[in-house]
Amino acid sequence: NLTLGIDPALFTYQQIKKFFLRHSKVKFINENLIDKIKKPSVNKSYPFFSLSNNIVGENCKSKVKKISNYMKRFNADFIFISAPENIAWILNIRGKDGPNSPVPNARLLITKTNKIFLITKIQKCKKLIKNKTIKQNEFIDIDDFPKKILNLKGKNFIIDDKSCSIFYENLIKSKFKII
């Protein structure tokens, strides 16, 4: 008969339901308790970088267009991609956010009209903007994301409930229909 505290940014609703709700009460804790004990020593200022088109095989515009065409089949206005490895593949970018992984810690929003919005910290994107991998208006600061998403025009969202944290899922559900 315990209450379990979990960080909603780390788990999907499906994970919480499957592993935690059966056996205990769950309380969401929105601050990282591990960081209170010891701050991670990851270099947060290392910028993302893009891979050249001759290495990746397909450019990001082509991938985004395929995703937008997929969205049209479901009458979706947006798709929210929260798995960093998928963002790395779609945009052909890499980062050094983890000590042993080249995956960029970011989120991505794609519209039915092929627009992209990379969601992360601005210092991570400076190299991408300078190299014209993304434009300044294709970036949303992670701290501004909650209010920016509520100003979007449209109604239908696609998210992956197997990888999207409950925090983002609830934020999107507050205004949009998830399909």
% residues pLDDT > 70 (the chain): 94
Rounded mean pLDDT, 103-117: 93
DSSP state of 57: S
Cβ atoms of residues 77 and 112 within 8 Å: yes
Average pLDDT, stretch 14-43?
A: 74
- Contacts by residues 86-90 (CB-CB < 8 Å, ≥ 24 positions apart): 86/163, 87/118, 89/63, 90/60, 90/63, 90/64
Give the pLDDT mean for 152-166. 87
Contact 168, 147 (CB under 8 A): no
Q: What is the pLDDT of residue 40?
A: 59
